[in-house]
Amino acid sequence: MTLAMWLGLFLLVLGLVAVASNPSPYFAALGLVMVAGVGCGVLAGHGGSFLSLVLFLIYLGGMLVVFAYSAALAAEPYPETWGSRPVLGSMLILGSIVAGASTFFLEGWFQASWVGADEVGGFFVARGDMGGVASMYASGGGLLVIGAGVLLLTLFVVLELTRGLSRGALRAV
């Protein structure tokens, strides 16, 4: 399990470096979807399976809006890829910065602390993330509604920005 967590966290950092170093919005949105998937996989590996599912669905909705926005604004016929020289150089520089920072902070991490929420105690009736699910819906319901409203507003802003000079999807009838 520790090897799977190391691999997941390595892919998470690699995806974040790929997003930060890429000038093309096409590949940056693809890297962001990869980072969201791997991050939710790491969260599920630590015992938060329901929370990772909810976050992944929210990320997919948000990434759909971001990809539509970036695809509408990026009209380059030949975008920069991850293998081109400037992007690869930027990835190597950012990767070396992350590797240097991780060797500086490495001595405080221990593999024994990487256990899931279900492995910390004895026999439980419910899973480890069910208490968080109840709290999310009980005391966080208002914030959930506000978040849905913000996503709806973002969708309308993206539709308004991508319509250009023509009469787009939002028009007075």
The answer to the question of residue 107 being in a domain is yes
Domain coverage including residue 46: 2-139
Q: Give me the pLDDT at residue 138, please.
A: 77
The answer to whether residue 173 is domain-embedded is: no
Q: Is 155 inside a domain boundary?
A: no
What's the pLDDT at 144? 79
Predicted confidence at residue 165, as pLDDT, reads: 57
Interior/surface letters 101-137, b for 16+ CB within 10 angstroms, e for the rest: eeeeeeeeeeeeebebbeeeeeeeeebbbeeeeeebe
94: left (phi over 0), alpha (psi -120 to 50) or beta: alpha
Report yes or no on 154 lying in a domain.
Answer: no
Is residue 125 domain-resident? yes
64 part of a folded domain? yes
What was the pLDDT predicted at 160? 73
pLDDT for the residue 83: 76
The angle at the Cα of 74, spanning 91 to 88, to the nearest 5 degrees, equals 15
pLDDT value of position 121: 62
So what's the pLDDT on residue 90?
84
Sequence-separated contacts (24+) of 116-125 with Cβ below 8 Å: 116/1, 116/45, 116/46, 116/47, 117/46, 117/47, 117/48, 118/47, 119/47
Does residue 153 sit in helix, strand or coil?
A: helix
- The CATH number covering residue 20 comes to 1.20.120
**Would you say residue 162 lies in a domain?**
no
Please, is 149 exposed, middle or buried when counting C-beta atoms within 10 Å of its C-beta (0-12, 13-18, 19+)? exposed
Query: Which pLDDT value is given to residue 27?
Result: 75
The pTM of this model reads 0.61
Inside any domain, residue 22: yes
Which regions of the chain are under pLDDT 50?
none
**Predicted pLDDT at 117:** 57
Domain count, the chain: 1
